[in-house]
Amino acid sequence: MERKYFGTDGVRGLANTFPMTAEMALRLGAAAGRYFRKDKKSHRVVIGKDTRRSSYMIEAALTAGFASTGMEVFLLGPVPTPAVGMLARSMRADVGVMISASHNPYHDNGIKFFGPDGYKLSNAAELEIEALVDGDIALAAPENIGRVQRIDDGLGRYMEFAKTAFPRHRLLDGMKVVIDCANGAAYKAAPTVLWELGAEVIPIGVTPDGFNINLGCGSTSTEAASKAVITHKADVGICLDGDADRVMILDENGVVADGDQIMGLIASRWCDQGSLAHDTLVATVMSNMGLEKYLGRRGITLLRTDVGDRHVVQAMREGGFNLGGEQSGHIVMSNYVTTGDGLIAGLQFLNAMIETNKPASALAHVFDPYPQLLENIRYTDKDPLQAASVKAAIADGEAALQANGRLLIRKSGTEPLVRVMGECEDATLLRRVVGDITAAVKAAA
């Protein structure tokens, strides 16, 4: 059954425009509350958010919806997405909610749901909640309306938890770290954790105003952090996105290492230590072929999934794997967390620097990537991928690449975009093929 409201990562859209309206958030909260509160016992929800102006509006509406069905509501305030998954489990909540559009600009927002186990909800659960949204939601009697309270120590709990991912009794003394928090949810947590572990911290992207989240900073815009690394002669830079579930690493020269490079490093280290479950890394179809070749030489299997950390986590759980992620910087380490965690992934990298006594540049680029091009084309109501001209351009491109590369053309699950990705050892051929397909999609959009 096709989902109406939920995409690949919760419900998303332009703030104050359907489905990201206060009215819809209220109905989602009430529907989720009714779904999880199936008896008269006390049930609870924890709600976190990022720093967007609209997150406060949506928080209030969700809170009203949950309370109206009798759920006890615990408000965490601005916290990273992984904190919500962790706290939902540790606080014995029935559901956790994160209000965020992740790496998107301030004018977008989203609502992500986590189950009591800390994992994002299944497709089946989301379908049931959608059915409730569209129906008549039974409200609680006046005496059973849920209480609402703010939790002041939620962020502190997460920070202490994050530090457990770093070896006990090991410190970052003498290490200078630039941390870019994207003016987002980790603007307090990440610099504090690094400082408490002993690092000299140069924080940027830590002055949120409701509108500057991901604006010229963070994992999708690393130029400011790169400049800071060079200016301050830092050892390494860590760039998070707006809800801190993604990370990019900068070496001491300001050069960026994406999620593929970080996963390659962690996978090889864990494999050498005998702690990589089934000698397998789970990644998506977007991960570079160079990563696959590198892992193969190390005796590590790369298991590919559809795009989206939901699919990565599902494959990890089904196969008993403990490491997965995406090129975009989602790094999921199930020994620690149930979803991507940029801060904990960054700590893994810092630990590797200390243990090997090597500079970031020697660790952040473990394989030579195949030339890869990604073009995003925005469309309106019409699906350009159904056009005959686009289908013909894709067929011609696949024939041209043959076994020397690959194409991945798909619609985004979170934005009205067609993503055209190509990979090939021959960079000139790659540019021509991707250019032809992109032109065809633009003409049909």
Whether residue 308 has pLDDT greater than 80: yes
The two structure tokens encoding residue 103: 């790496």
Contact 219, 248 (CB under 8 A): yes
Look up tokens 């947590």; give the residue: 189
Question: In whole angstroms, what separates CA 18 from the centre of its chain?
Answer: 23
Task: Report pLDDT digits (tens) over 341-373.
Answer: 999 999 999 999 999 999 999 999 999 999 989
Whether residue 115 has pLDDT greater than 80: yes
Residues annotated catalytic, as ranges: 102
Contact 329, 205 (CB under 8 A): no
Confidence of residue 166 (pLDDT cuts 50, 70, 90): very high
| Domains of the chain, earliest start first | 11-152 (3.40.120.10), 158-242 (3.40.120.10), 259-341+357-363 (3.40.120.10), 372-444 (3.30.310.50)
Output the pLDDT for position 425.
Answer: 86
Contact 327, 264 (CB under 8 A): no
Residue 30 is which amino acid? A
Stretch 390-400: mean pLDDT, rounded? 95
The two structure tokens encoding residue 57: 């509006």
Q: What percent of the chain has pLDDT over 70?
A: 99
The two structure tokens encoding residue 170: 């090991």
What are φ and ψ of residue 17, in 5° steps?
-130, 135
Whether residue 378 has pLDDT greater than 80: yes
Contact 161, 38 (CB under 8 A): no
Output the pLDDT for position 38.
Answer: 74
Output the pLDDT for position 381.
Answer: 80
Output the pLDDT for position 37.
Answer: 86
Task: Report pLDDT digits (tens) over 38-74.
Answer: 766 779 999 999 999 999 999 999 999 999 999 999 9
Whether residue 413 has pLDDT greater than 80: no
